[in-house]
Each structure stands twice: as C-alpha cells, then as structure tokens.
Chains A and B, each alone.
Chain A
Amino acid sequence: MKPSVSPWFASPTLAASPRSARCWPLAAALVLAAAVLGTLGLGVGSTGIEPVWAMLADPIAAQIVWDIRAPRTLGAWAAGALLGLAGAVAQGLFRNPLADPFLLGSAAGASLTVALALAALGVSPFAATWIVRLGLTGAAFLGAVAAVLLTLALARGVQHTLRLLLAGVVVGMVLGALTSLVTLLVPDVLQAMQAFLLGSTGFVGWSACAIMMAVGTVCIGAAWALARVLDGLTLGEATAQSLGLPLAPLRLALVAVIALATGTAVTQTGLIAFVGLAAPHLVRTLVKVTHGWLVALASLMGGLLLMVADLLARGLVAPQEIPVGVLTAVLGGGYLLWLMHRRTG
C-alpha cells in the first residue's frame, strides 16, 4: 500500500536531502520568534497594547503581567506544541496527510464530559461539589482518555490502521451527537460549551503551564524515540514489518503519545482547530525531514502558531476576545494555502 500523499506534501524520505541542513536554522528561528513574540505579548491584553515596564510599576497591573499574561502566553505555546506534536505523530501513524490529533475521538470525549459536567453543575449541590473537586479540566481529561480507549476497544486493538481510523471517526460522531443532545437539553451550558469548542487560552495559569510542559517533554521524548517507526511506516506496513519493527506495541505507544498530548492540550485550552493539522504541513513545506526532526519542528511550529493566535485573540478587539480557535484556522489555513500555491504555481 502506497502512502496517499499529494506531490507537495512529499513523504519524508529516509535519505538525507540537501534541505535537511535547514533544520537547525528553522528550529532556531521558530524558538527565537516565539521568545520575541512572547515577550512582546506581555504588553498585549484587555487594555490593548501598552508598555510592560509601565505596567510593572502598578501592583495590580504587575500581577496581571506575571500571573495572567505570562502563563497564558507560555500556555498557548505549550498547548500549540502538544497539538503540533500529536498532529505530526498522527499523520505519520495513519500515513494520511489529513490526519489530525483529534482523530482518535479525544476531542469528542472531552467535549462530552465537559458538557455533562457543566449541565450537572446546576442540577444538585452534591454534583457541584464533586465536580469542583475533580474540576472541569479533570473531567475533560477523563473524557479524552476514555474516548481513545473506546476507539481502541471498537477497533479491537491497533493491528489495523484503517479500522482504528474508522473507529475514531465513529466515536467522534457518536460522542459529538451526545454532546449536542446535552447542550440542547440544558441550553444554559450552550455558550460555555461554544467557548470550549472554539478553544480559549484565557484561563491558563502557571499550574496548567507546568502540566503541559511536563507532558510535552515526555511526549516529545517518546515521539523522538519512536520516530524510526514512523519513518518505517511511510514505506508501508509490510516494509516496516520486514525491517524487523515490532509494529503492534510500537503503534500502541504512538497512540498513547497522541492521546496524552491531545488530551492534555484539550483539557487546558478546549478544542483548538487546525494547529495539529497545519503545523506538520507547514514544517514539511519548509524543509524535507525524517520524523525525528518533524516531531520537534512541528511542535515548535504549533507552539508559535497558537501563541500568535492568542496574541491576536486578546489584542484585536480588546477588552473583548475572539475565540482563539477561529484565529488558528484563519492564520494556519491562510498561510498553508499561500505556501501551497507558491510551490505549485
């Protein structure tokens, strides 16, 4: 079975190409851009753009910079990195350029438990205390993980990639429909749900940042270690097997990486569209790399993309906010289209 890829997408070749020499500069550029924009971003918020040093003089404004804007900016970067990483792994694992991190049902699972939690909050004080202890974030994480496990159960394991893909689609559809049903029955949760579905980086604090950074480190390490499997898989399952790769356990490990990275990002920031799909493609249009580099660069690209989207979300119509997911789609989609046409045209 040949990987179904469009010409410009070009599956990463195992042989080093001249362009892989551009990896280090690209990584450095992505980190530098994130650092510069992140620092500048400390001055963007509910009052529009203002100089940070002026804010640090006022205790309340200083607290806003350190306790709200700084973790929010870093959190956006971390969540974007997790999604970019999960996207790169998903596209490699499924050998499908349209694969995105939400494919295994984690987004639908998280939405359903968040909707249920929101609906239950108003029902009984008992439910409210229980949910507060667990937190909406805890509920989202449980939902994301449970949905992936459900997908795995329905696909009866990871032996068949296509079966896994279809099971993920089914789980996504069914849980999505149940979520709609919950919001219809309890319309009070409609707007809060809408905000979750479009993603928001507004409530990311230091603890959320720490969780995402820790999970991100583990996932990148694991993905890096498993990159050879992804490289092997691009040549087809039979070839990968003939290379002596124990596919089943390694695939399971890759699924775990996708689930953990996506679940963590969704839990903290809601469903942010397109970062996971676009980040690996953006990297591939710039350099031709093996998966070891791809997972790292896609993470950096995803982080930068979401950080820029977050800055625009809070700056464009301050003190109101645009849902960050809307901006990631516009930014990522627009840039990707432009790159695509520049290369083919």
Chain B
Amino acid sequence: MRRMGWPVWALALGLVGWLGAAWAQPITVTDDRGRTVVLPAAPQRVVSILPSLTETVCELQQCQRLVGVDRYSNWPAAIQALPRVGGGIDPNVEAIVALRPDVVLAAVSSRGSERLEALGLKVVALEPKTHADMRRVMGTVARVLGLPAEDAERLWRHIDAAVSAAAQSLPPNVRRTKVYFEVNRAPYAAGASSFIGETLARLGAQNIVPAELGPFPKLNPEFVVRANPDVIMVGARNAPGMTERPGWERIRAVRERRVCVFDNDDADTIIRPGPRLGEGARLLADCLRKHVQP
C-alpha cells in the first residue's frame, strides 16, 4: 500500500466506486492452470517472467508496479532498468523471492511456479495462445492488479480497432494472396489456428497452412513448394539461406522476390501474443500492401 500515491488512490476509488472500498477486499482470480489464487489486496509489487505479460501490465498503465522481469522482456523502454530474474524456463527463484513480490505473473509452462508457491509467493500462471486468450488474459491481469474490468476491455478495443484499421488499409486483392509465415527454420509455420494465423485471417490473406495442422506445425519443406505461396513472411534470424533450400527457387514468392524479412524487434512484436497485437497486424499489413497487386 505504502507506494501508492493519493492520485492513484483517488482514481482507483473513483473507478471502482460502486464496489465500495474494493482495494481492501481480497482479490480472487482463477489462472490458466485452473488454480484459484487469492490476493489479500491489490498487489503493488509485481514480477513478470513472460514478455507478453510484462507488456500487458505496462499497457494497462501499471508499469510502475513491476519490480522485476525476465531476461527476455525488452519492451517498453520503462522496464529496461528493472532487475532481471532469469528466464521463463529458468527463473531465478532466489532473485524473485528477494524482490518480495505480492504476485508473480508466469507462463503455465514455466518451471518454478510450484517452488515459488511453496516459498509462500502468489503465482498467477497465464498462457495466451489465441486472440480470445489474449483478451481473457488481459482481463485476468487487470483483475489481478485490482483494476476495473473496463480498463482491460478498453485496451482490447484499442487493439481490435488497430487490427481492423490494418485490414482496411489493404486492397481487396489480398483475398487472393496465399501467405506462408515461417516461425523458424526447422521449419515451423504459423498455421491458421495460431494467433498469427488469426491476424492474417483478419487481414484477409489466405494461409497455406490449414487450421487442422495445429497452431505451429513442423512442416515437410516440400509442402511449401507444393502450396506455392505468393508471399513469404519470416524473421531476420530465420531468413538467411531460406531461398537456397532444394526446390524453393520455384516458389512464386521467391521467384518474384516477395519475401518479407522482419527485423528482430518487429519479429518480437509479431510473434508475442501480447498487447502489441495491433502493431504486429500493422507490420503484417505493410508487408502485404507492398506485395499485393492493387
């Protein structure tokens, strides 16, 4: 409590007025493990060990409550100075405990949640995988932070509007464009059922990887040659050497140089299921606009 200034109090009180003094009430949330977590009061010290959750906290204008983040969180700039507490797969339990957080936000798959809980910390595990998940996770994070549900809804509407605006900026011909989004060189693709696939669908493009194959299937590379996409999207880290794969010089996107290579920051924006979804949609739309004939 001690860190909250009076303007924040006033704001919080105003927004949740109909709940009375909700800030003093315990907060109960059910996380994505199905576990019910009870927080005695709105947490003031938050540790996030998943970049998309770090970004969500900040986009809910609560960056100042973060006291530690994982080493992969790199956005927004406000978190750069925060202590790093390891990664999602190898969290530094001691460093997290030393920060005395009121709550730890982690991925469901993160190791260490059990250990942190055994040490008396509150852990809320969340795993956004689809657009619907992202909306739900934003709601849950807002609830954990003791914010009114309206804050999360407003953030989601803002993101949704950005995706719609990106879609409207594209010529109608985008509907005839077949897209292949390569997540990495194994090659894993972003299928139609992944959140990247959902964004591409919102933009109107056709994904060569059908939803039946799952969100991020490991493809036989000849599948891509056979599907002959018009546009290929890939991050800078995975782009080198792609066009030299056997048979790939025949793919239309390669032949006509319609391959979009996203730099590392842009690739982060696109492949993180967080509040920069609208920005990611704009990047995908920029690529499509460049390569779709009007």
Contacts and interface: CB of A to CB of B under 8 A. Distances in A.
Given A63-B250, A68-B247, A192 B220 contact: no
B72 interface: yes
Interface residues of A, number: 40
A318 B184 contact: no
Contact of B219 (A46, A71, A131): A46
Given A67-B246, A68-B225, A321-B220, A188 B237 contact: yes
Contacts of A47: 226
B267 to A, nearest CB: 8
A64 interface: yes
B75 interface: no
B222 A60 contact: no
A319 B250 contact: no
Contacts of B247: 63-64, 67-68, 205
Contact of B222 (A64, A122, A188, A192): A64
B226 A202 contact: no
Contacts of B226: 46-47, 60-61, 64
Q: How large is the interface on B (under 10, 10 to 19, 20 to 34, 35 or more residues)?
A: 20 to 34
Contact of A195 (B186, B220, B225): B186
A222 interface: no
B218 A195 contact: yes
Contacts of B187: 202
A200 B246 contact: no
Given A68-B225, A184-B90, A320 B250 contact: no
A60 B238 contact: no
Interface string B47-75: 00000000000000000000000001000
A132 to B, nearest CB: 5
Is chain A's interface secondary structure helix, strand, loop, or mixed overall?
helix
Nearest to B213: A320
A187 interface: yes
A95 B72 CA distance: 47
B241 A132 contact: yes
B285 to A, nearest CB: 23
A291 to B, nearest CB: 36
Contacts of A192: 184-186, 238
A90 interface: no
Q: Which of B213, B217, B238, B240 has the most CB of A within 10 A?
A: B240
Contacts of B186: 191-192, 194-195, 200
A207 to B, nearest CB: 9
Given A47-B226, A71-B246, A205-B245, A314 B90 contact: no
A69 interface: yes
Interface string B202-220: 0000000000010001111
A293 to B, nearest CB: 34
Given A71-B246, A118-B237, A205-B246, 11 more contacts: A46-B220, A46-B223, A60-B226, A68-B246, A136-B241, A192-B186, A206-B246, A319-B219, A319-B223, A320-B217, A320-B219
10 contacts: A67-B250, A68-B222, A68-B247, A121-B237, A184-B87, A195-B218, A202-B220, A202-B221, A204-B246, A314-B220
Top 4 nearest A-B pairs (CB, nearest first) are A205-B246, A195-B186, A46-B223, A122-B237
